[in-house]
Amino acid sequence: MPKDATTMQRMTLFALIMLLAAAFSLTAADSDSTSGKKTEKVYEITWMRYDEGLAKAAKEDKHVFIDFTTSWCGWCKKMDAETFSDPYVIQLVNDHFVPIQVDGDSKRELDIDGYKISEKNLTAREYGVNGYPSFWFLKPDGTKIGMIRGYRPKPDIVEVLEFVKNRGYDTISANEPQSKDEGRQKK
């Protein structure tokens, strides 16, 4: 073989080795290093429709996290961009809740066990939402736990999500004072 042909073969072999190495590293990056199984990476919260989410929550015995939002709401967009894009928040919501997103301006009809209502009417009539964003938490059976309003940075929303996930609401008595002032007796 002429010297040029040998050099060409070596260069071709080197390029093939580099391609194989790159392909192997991409495959390894998608695998769980301990089990060798491919892991699904979720980069966003998997929001559901209200009617579908309620059925799933009951079936899977998971709490419901409802995000009441609108397309024109600046604080809602900030929540999406800053809080709901955080990997820990995404994992916490997707793993421990049935996440539901309701558009407070939408006329899209929902069918809740034969009861028909638009997202707009559900927002106002059933949940009393009058500002965005608003977040409601439900027990797996659909019983309302409570709501929070307004933009929430990651530490705040994580605290509330953990509280609901761990059923902290079961430990609060309705008769216990919620602040020092409420528990004081007037003389």
- Tell me the C-alpha distance between 20 and 133, whole Å: 49
More reliable by pLDDT, 170 or 156? 156
pLDDT for 33 beyond 90: no
Residue 92: pLDDT band by 50, 70, 90 thresholds?
very high
C-alpha 46: how far from chain center: 6
If asked whether residues 57 and 1 sit together in one domain, one would say: no
Average pLDDT value for residue range 156-167:
96
Asked if residue 40 is part of any domain, the answer here is no
Task: Count how many domains the chain has.
Answer: 2
Give the relative orientation of helices 154-165 and 87-96 as an angle to the nearest 10 degrees. 20
pLDDT for 110 beyond 80: yes
Asked if residue 110 is part of any domain, the answer here is yes
Tell me whether the omega of the peptide bond preceding residue 155 falls within 30 degrees of 0, making it cis.
Answer: no
- Residue 110's beta-bridge partner residues? 117
If asked whether residues 72 and 9 sit together in one domain, one would say: no
- The pLDDT, as a whole number, for residue 117 is 95
Asked if residue 146 is part of any domain, the answer here is yes
**In terms of residue numbers, what domain contains 155?**
50-169
Kindly report the CATH number assigned to the domain that includes residue 137: 3.40.30.10
Residues 51, 55, 57, 58, CA torsion sign: positive
- The pLDDT, as a whole number, for residue 43 is 84
Supply the pTM of this predicted model: 0.70
Average pLDDT value for residue range 20-24:
46
Asked if residue 113 is part of any domain, the answer here is yes
Place of tokens 């009058």: 130
Average pLDDT value for residue range 159-178:
80
- The pLDDT, as a whole number, for residue 68 is 98
Residue 30: pLDDT band by 50, 70, 90 thresholds?
very low
- For residues 84 and 73, the answer to whether their CB atoms sit within 8 Å is no
Concatenated DSSP letters of the chain? --HHHHHHHHHHHHHHHHHHHHHHHHHHHTB-TTT--B-----S---B-HHHHHHHHHHHT-EEEEEEE-TT-HHHHHIIIIITTSHHHHHHHHHHEEEEEEETT---EEEETTEEEEHHHIIIIIT---SSSEEEEE-TTS-EEEEEES---HHHHHHHHHHHHTTGGGG--TTS-SSHHHHPPP-
Torsion over CA of 21, 27, 33 and 34, rounded to 10 degrees? Answer: -120
If asked whether residues 25 and 61 sit together in one domain, one would say: no
Asked if residue 45 is part of any domain, the answer here is no
Residue % of the chain over a pLDDT of 70? 69
Asked if residue 93 is part of any domain, the answer here is yes
Asked if residue 186 is part of any domain, the answer here is no
If asked whether residues 61 and 21 sit together in one domain, one would say: no
If asked whether residues 23 and 62 sit together in one domain, one would say: no
Asked if residue 187 is part of any domain, the answer here is no
If asked whether residues 71 and 124 sit together in one domain, one would say: yes
pLDDT for 44 beyond 70: yes
Residue 27: pLDDT band by 50, 70, 90 thresholds?
very low
